[in-house]
Amino acid sequence: MARIAVLGATGYLGGHAVTRLQADGHEVRAVVRAPERARLPEGVVVVQGDVTEPATLPAALAGTDGVLLALNGGGDVELAVQVEQQGVANVAAAAEAAGIGRVLLISGMFAQPAYAAYPWEQAKARGERMLMDSSVASTVFRVGFINETLASFVRGGRPVLIGRQRHPVRPVAVGDVMAAASTAFGRPDTANQVYDVAGGQEMTLREAAAAYASAITGRSIAPSAVRVLPLWFMRAVNRLFLRGRMTRPLGILTSMDRHGDVTDTTAWFRDFGAPPTPFTQWVAQQRDSVEGRS
């Protein structure tokens, strides 16, 4: 059991991290900008802190053994740099000063020079580098395609892709990612390592979307029935009607359309083993969950 500060605890990945860390017996401290608005599980200690304001971090991190970063500055480029690049550097400096034993950063698979085509990916890549160059023991998880993201690919009971997405991916359950993150805090051998994180089953995003939609609708949906919206069309929609709210997701989907899954999971499987929830098992769990609610 350790005292772990989570920054980004109110976000999607950070929320899953909080849940898993608590389940594993860690004492969780959520460092948030506005504690009065935070909605977090019972037992989580909530304190004020902001990665873009370094002066708030020493008190927020005091007395903790480890830090988990699940940061997302959104689609605004300036904010992404402030949060995902400089914010990581600010936390690294505060962790060094506090003598914290481990900082674990949840990053993305395109946050590496060969694939960082967009400003937020470049910010993440620079943040990774700043953390790894610091003296604090650090671990980076570059996470690939997360199973749970498939929920956003179903509209009106029909699976819909943005871009043709012909390259294979290896989806991974978010619970498996956070289980590994939780155990990493107690494992010295995972310090100063960068892991590409993905599942063990390779498939196209079209196949994954069809399998998920079949599970939650109770209808057999073939991959060929998945609707495809062209990237150029969605960029126009984003520009004309959505005020740029889809800019970052469309950039990620464009990278996926070009490259597919770019993870090398050799080290991930070596040190953490195969993720315990294969994609087919996860899909069955979604089907059972829907049936249980009906």
Q: Which pLDDT score, from 0 to 100, does residue 256 have?
A: 97
Q: Which pLDDT score, from 0 to 100, does residue 152 have?
A: 95
Residue 72 domain flag: yes
Kindly give the parts of the chain with pLDDT less than 50.
none
Residue 9 domain flag: yes
Q: What is the rounded CA–CA span in Å between residue 91 and residue 237? A: 37
Residue 268 domain flag: yes
Q: Which pLDDT score, from 0 to 100, does residue 1 have?
A: 78
Q: Which pLDDT score, from 0 to 100, does residue 291 have?
A: 85
Q: What is the rounded CA–CA span in Å between residue 34 and residue 238? A: 30
Residue 287 domain flag: no
CATH label of the domain that carries residue 94 = 3.40.50.720
Q: What is the rounded CA–CA span in Å between residue 61 and residue 6? A: 10
Q: How many domains, in total, are found in the chain? A: 1
Q: 204, 217, 205, 222: which is closest to 286 by C-alpha?
A: 217
224 exposed, middle or buried (CB, 10 Å; 0-12, 13-18, 19+)? exposed
Q: What is the rounded CA–CA span in Å between residue 214 and residue 221? A: 5
- Tell me phi and psi for residue 196, to 5 degrees: -85, 125
Q: What is the pLDDT of residues 12-46, one digit of tens each?
A: 999 999 999 999 999 999 999 999 999 999 999 99
What strand order describes the sheet that includes 193-197? 45-48, 27-32, 3-7, 66-69, 102-108, 138-143, 193-197
Residue 218 domain flag: no
Residue 209 domain flag: no
Q: What is the rounded CA–CA span in Å between residue 75 and residue 164? A: 23
Domain range holding 190? 3-145+173-199+261-276
2 exposed, middle or buried (CB, 10 Å; 0-12, 13-18, 19+)? middle
Residue 102 domain flag: yes
Residue 70 domain flag: yes
